Amino acid sequence: MDIERKRALVTGGAGLIGSHIVDLLIREGWQVRILDNLEPQTHKNGRPAWIHPSAEFVQGNVQDYETVRAALTDIDVVFHEAAYGGYMPEMAKYVLVNSFGTAQLLEIIRDHKLPIRKVLVASSQAVYSEGAAECSVHGAVVPLLRPAEQMRAGDFQVHCPHCGRPTSSIPTAEGTPGGGETVYALTKVDQERLVLLWGKQTGIPTVALRYSCTYGPRQSLFNPYTGVIAIFCTRLLNGQPPIMYEDGEQTRDLCFVEDIAQANLLAATTDTLDGLAVNVGSGRATSVRDLARIIAEQLGVSIEPIARGEFRPG
Ligand SMILES: NC(=O)c1ccc[n+]([C@@H]2O[C@H](COP(=O)([O-])OP(=O)(O)OC[C@H]3O[C@@H](n4cnc5c(N)ncnc54)[C@H](O)[C@@H]3O)[C@@H](O)[C@H]2O)c1
Ligand SMILES: [Zn+2]
């Protein structure tokens, strides 16, 4: 896509990922507006110092029709990063901020015939269930969610849905069946489906980027969702062992936030991803146990992580 004027709206642009997208776009010569309500769960200390001085900052809520309508004025590309995250019990809030907020934003663009040229939405690896796996007998399989009873009994393996053998995890392709196993994940599924469907109906190009676990500077210490590296660092710096869920052998694809920002810029400036949901990650699996050791080594402390059999449903 050839963008002459390059004006972006970054919702959630005060947060971890959004703020790095803002910085990158400004370096690339874009005009940037941020819409962010400074959600206290992420921003316990108020407005963060890293909000780029060249960006126009609008403090407002994506749930608010007039705020969103005004924020969308004179914009070419929307980077929709604002979302409520965490493993919190507020079911209705997830749906309001994430699902409703996205639906309303799309409706405003359509109903007011705003000349938006592209909408990118932040989706998540959370749209998958356990992810793809490999069975020594059945090859590539899509395991069901591990039942809580199995985990309570201390078995954290992902078993083959056909023969029950333990599997090993393999990269999860975009076509892998998923659906979301937490309320947060359900709303991420909503967001990407709403955006991609609306794109088909309106003809406006859209991309859903399924980010893997993202880390980097500006990561909130208060938001329990954006957690593991920040939490392990905090424990280790206080002389405490990191506490791993499950047995610590579960793997994650950890991706540096500036790479996530770069993926957004690429997706915004090519038409090859239009209409698609796309994984964004490092392509490398790291076990939580290895991660704890890598962080300890980097911090120069020799404290081993501990696993107490705790786990989180979903
Ligand atoms: N961090 C990760 O590992 C990860 C992984 C997958 C997907 N994502 C998605 O990426 C996006 C950005 O996540 P992040 O890690 O930067 O989180 P973050 O909490 O650092 O940033 C989110 C920003 O959105 C803002 N926000 C929240 N509710 C809002 C509302 N109602 N109105 C306006 N602004 C609101 C917050 O104030 C915050 O600045 C989210 O959509 C998240 O679901 C993140
Ligand atoms: Zn099998």
Per-residue pLDDT of 162-172, as tens digits, reads: 999 999 999 99
- Residue 85 is predicted with a pLDDT of 84
Residue 184 annotated in active site = yes
Give the position, in ligand 1's atom list, of the atom nearest the Cα of 255.
3
CATH architecture type of domain 7-128+172-216+253-283: 3-Layer(aba) Sandwich (3.40)
Give the position, in ligand 1's atom list, of the atom nearest the Cα of 13.
39
Q: Kindly name the residue from 84, 94, 184, 225 that is annotated as catalytic.
A: 184
Lowest mean pLDDT across 34-38, 46-50, 181-185? 181-185
Burial profile 88-114: b = 16 or more Cβ within 10 angstroms, e = fewer: beeeebbbbbbbbbbebbbebbeeeee
pLDDT tens for 125-175 read 999 988 999 999 999 999 989 999 999 999 999 999 999 999 999 999 999
Q: Where are the domains of the chain?
A: 7-128+172-216+253-283, 129-170
How far apart (Å, rounded) are the C-alpha atoms in residues 191 and 80? 10
Ligand 1 centre from 162 Cα, in Å? 37
How far apart (Å, rounded) are the C-alpha atoms in residues 18 and 139? 38
The structure's pTM equals 0.95
Q: How distant, in Å, are the alpha carbons of 69, 100, 192 from that of 65?
A: 6, 11, 20
Asked if residue 2 has pLDDT above 60, the reply is no
297 confidence band (pLDDT: 50, 70, 90): very high
- Residue 41 is predicted with a pLDDT of 85
Is 83 a pocket residue for ligand 1 (Cβ < 6 Å)? yes
Is 208 a pocket residue for ligand 1 (Cβ < 6 Å)? no
The per-residue pLDDT of the chain, averaged, comes to: 94
- Rounded to 5°, the CA angle 20-21-27 comes to 90
Asked if residue 225 has pLDDT above 70, the reply is no
- Residue 83 is predicted with a pLDDT of 96
